[in-house]
Structure 1
């Protein structure tokens, strides 16, 4: 093996030493813990973070070391340094070109949703990022508004407190998130614009953008698209549905979502994972004043709070009444493993997983399939679609794809549906699906080169025939 190849292999390996145990993982393996279906994944402290990264400075961009590893703070994405064409093209068996890209991504890193009930022992500062808030007419000839941004402040005589000092809203995209987004966009341009020639040099009618109603996804879109087109001076439409009927971020009302969730959280598997984490939950609850059911029945809130701290340059929390009583990294790692287990259970292994994906995300999956079908029918009006959404949307889509193991879809996690057209006598469409830059390892095999019709067939069972009846 030559020196350069040796260095390349070495930099693609994560060496993790914890409690005397050593895990040697490639970057891609860090996405697929083999014991994730079992609660032993949660309780085995020697696993640590299973090669994952959960720390980042306040300022970005964050790239992870080595690039491509599971990085909760800023997941990897297609980047020209690591990007490889599908094997079918590199080995010469076929010739073809990329004709369509459907790109889904979670928003960039942010402040937490969930503030500790007992109060936060650190102040969050967000006055280094400006969430702009203004509206204007649809033509340049109309009244042009004053650009304004939100600046959070606190009033000392206000008897109510958010539980944390500082200048942030909760949640709010942070300066590191904005910087990550800009780099994300630059990297997408380098791959899909400069190298593959799909993304145009200036936006045109063949590109389409969408987000949820959340300022998190909207702010991320602005940063990412500026990275793609740094010199473009016009405005771009970011499509959104009316929030009450949105097909992403659980926008529409559906009683079957709650009832199905209650059912799957009543199983022996779910109860077992609560049993093995009882000591941890009790300890954290007492330390942080987080004893009510919303903090104790799942690991969503603890994970969110700890992730947001570590990913923005803050420390893990301490009790506000005893500054020496603090969350340790070992505790946080168990919280993160429990969060991974829960997400894998929700979208891969629970006994009602097909119904749960249908009621939560089936309509959105239907939208994706309609875009893919239009390409297959040679009727697509777009070449590049980019949709800015949430972890609760990325998870069920990966579940529908049959991903072998699903860790929590982290900040800026992304799914790239690449559609290629072969140039042989009878041209055909093939699909490759990348998750955070890696071909998805699925129960259907590695999704590196499959007929587009087959990909559509994989996703179609998760599209409800009658969502209104299904929702009750």
Structure 2
């Protein structure tokens, strides 16, 4: 029985679907384009609005919240079923934690400029965030750099004007994103440090941190890890691969990525979703000057622009030439439903999904498998690994896990691979649990609350390519 009513939250009243927080992650009709066209479901319980300052969090806890997805918190954290009911005794021995960066300014600025109903040229302000930029020698050299941070400005002598006023780069972590990240880290330590005793009181050689080459993921790492260790005074290595061969964020060159994407975007299902949304895309395109193929072929750009506005305390945009022509909440809701449909199609529903996951994320999934296998073999040198990545990394990993349906992996969406070692009567064994945004993943393999670690490895191995170079052509 659904126990808790969740309204459709966009800052305006909407119909109540009677959804529990967990329901908001798993729309049952997301595989059908009727999900996009059915205006009565609004955002299917999802939250898409936040103030400029954070930290934010969905209310009630556990609700799909695009601005700041839920994560493990001590107040709601539940032990795996067999441990909770006393049938087994076990200790947490390894945590592989992946997360998307925190909320930010948009990647995609409107071609005609950024205008809202209330401000003729709505500025994104980032003076309250300091993106630090400096390099120093290691501690043995005695040379310590001057801490420097980027400060965006406009000079009156420059004849070229940006498409939006303000002091942000695009994209850039916003103040709310920094505050969300700090709270995220504090909550993680309360669960995996204080409660379960895995994360150490200060960093040691059994912790490992990694990010993509993006300033977004690096900035998020600084905020989150400060929340984990608020009193630590040293520096920490945040590992990155050379960007041209990075196994996250589509770093390496692989022609099969674009060819597989073209194939799935040529299917009847993809074309049907374009047909269903043709009126909306036409209205948004003419209103906002966004008529190029990059804006019209998918909902990525429209959703990104609207999400960034709403999640940082701004309003939806209006036409530059007609201030009375503005994007409505109903238009934004339909765009968000279309974005959800597209992400579910990319990583769960298209006929080429196995190959697409392999070429986009297979190498990184292989790294996760190697970490898990090392724990199983008793050779692991790590207790806690934390990787800061992007929605384009979280999506295929959830697809590989067989999540029942997939809404767009939102800001700070996270996947926690927990490995537990049983003890007591009988031989010890390794079991795994996989949490998505704080709750066990609901998947085609069942609820991933307590499975043999070897079975989890087998699920993921399907998506690890045997020869990525041949697969990429």
Please confirm whether the aligned pair reaches a TM-score higher than 0.5, indicating the same fold: yes
| Structure-2 residue corresponding to 1:3 | none
Distance 2:6 2:15 in 1: 13
Asked if the contact 1:173–1:216 (Cα under 8 Å) also holds between the matched residues in 2, the reply is yes
- The residue that corresponds to 1:444 in the other structure is 445
Aligned to 1:100: 94
For residues 395-414 of structure 1, the aligned pairs below 5 Å read: 395-414=395-414
Looking at structure 2, the residues matched to 61 and 172 of structure 1 have their Cα atoms a distance apart, in angstroms, of 17
Give the superposition deviation at 1:423: 0.7
CA distance in 1, matches of 2:227, 2:140: 24
The match for 1:42 is 36
TM-score by length of 1: 0.97
> Could you say which residue in structure 1 is the equivalent of 2:299?
299
Deviation at 1:15, TM superposition (A): 3.4
Task: Give the aligned partner of residue 455 of structure 2.
Answer: 454
SS at match of 2:314: coil
**Does the alignment pair 1:77 with 2:71?**
yes
| Structure-1 separation of matches of 2:59 and 2:388 | 25
Partner of 1:5: none
Residue 55 of structure 1, aligned match among 46, 49, 54 = 49
The residue aligned with 2:6 is 14
Confirm or deny: 8 A CA contact 1:112 1:305 kept in the other structure.
yes
The equivalences for 1:67-466 within 5 A come to: 67-121=61-115, 122-139=122-139, 141-424=141-424, 425-466=426-467
Shift of 1:20: 8.1
Note if contact 1:124-1:166 (Cα within 8 Å) is conserved in structure 2. Answer: yes
Q: Partners in 2 of 1:253 and 1:118 — Cα distance? A: 32
Q: Is the 8 A contact 2:8 2:14 kept in 1?
A: no
Query: Cα deviation per residue 1:163-186 (whole Å; 9 max; x = unaligned)?
Result: 100000000000000000000000
Q: Partners of 2:87 and 2:380 in 1: how far apart?
A: 27
- 1:156, CA displacement in angstroms? 2.4
Q: How far apart in 2 are the matches of 1:19 and 1:405?
A: 26
Contact 2:256 2:471 in 1 (8 A): yes
Instruction: Spell out, residue by residue over 1:108-134, the C-alpha distance to the aligned partner (whole angstroms, 9 max, x if none).
Output: 000000000111111111011000000
**After superposition, what is the alpha-carbon deviation per residue over 1:369-405, rounded to whole angstroms, capped at 9, x for unaligned?**
0000000000000000000000000000000000001
Counterpart Cα distance in 1 of 2:248 and 2:270:
26
Alpha-carbon separation, structure 2, partners of 1:13 and 1:390: 31
Report the secondary structure of 1:42's partner residue: helix
* C-alpha deviation, 1:63, in angstroms: 1.2
1:162, CA displacement in angstroms? Answer: 2.5
Do the aligned partners of 2:5 and 2:16 also contact (CA within 8 Å) in 1? no
Q: Note the C-alpha offset of 1:16.
A: 4.0
1:132-175 CA-to-partner distances (Å, cap 9, x unmatched) read 00011111552111100000001223232331000000000000
Give me the CA root mean square deviation. 1.3
Higher alpha-carbon deviation: 316-325 or 293-302: 316-325
* Counterpart contact for 2:8–2:46, Cα < 8 Å: no
**1:253-286: per-residue Cα shift (whole Å, max 9, x none)?**
0000000000100000000000000000000000
2:119 aligns with none
Cα 1:420/1:299, change in 2 over 3 Å = same
Q: Give the secondary-structure state (helix, strand or coil) at the position aligned to 2:393.
A: helix
In 1: Cα distance, 2:162 partner to 2:258 partner = 28
Equivalent residues, number:
463
How many Å separate the matches in 1 of 2:233 and 2:399? 39
CA contact (8 A) 1:16 1:24 kept: no
How much has 1:21 moved relative to structure 2? 4.9
TM-score relative to the length of structure 2: 0.96
From 27, 33, 47, give the equivalent of 2:27: 33
> Counterpart of 2:118?
none
Contact 1:19 1:46 in 2 (8 A): no
Q: For each residue in 1:224-278, what CA deviation from the matched residue of structure 2 results, as whole angstroms up to 9, or x when unmatched?
A: 0000000000000000000000000000000000000001000000000000000
SS in structure 2 opposite 1:270?
helix
Are the counterparts in 1 of residues 178 and 220 from structure 2 also a CA contact under 8 Å? Answer: yes
Contact 2:46-2:66 at 8 Å conserved across structures: yes
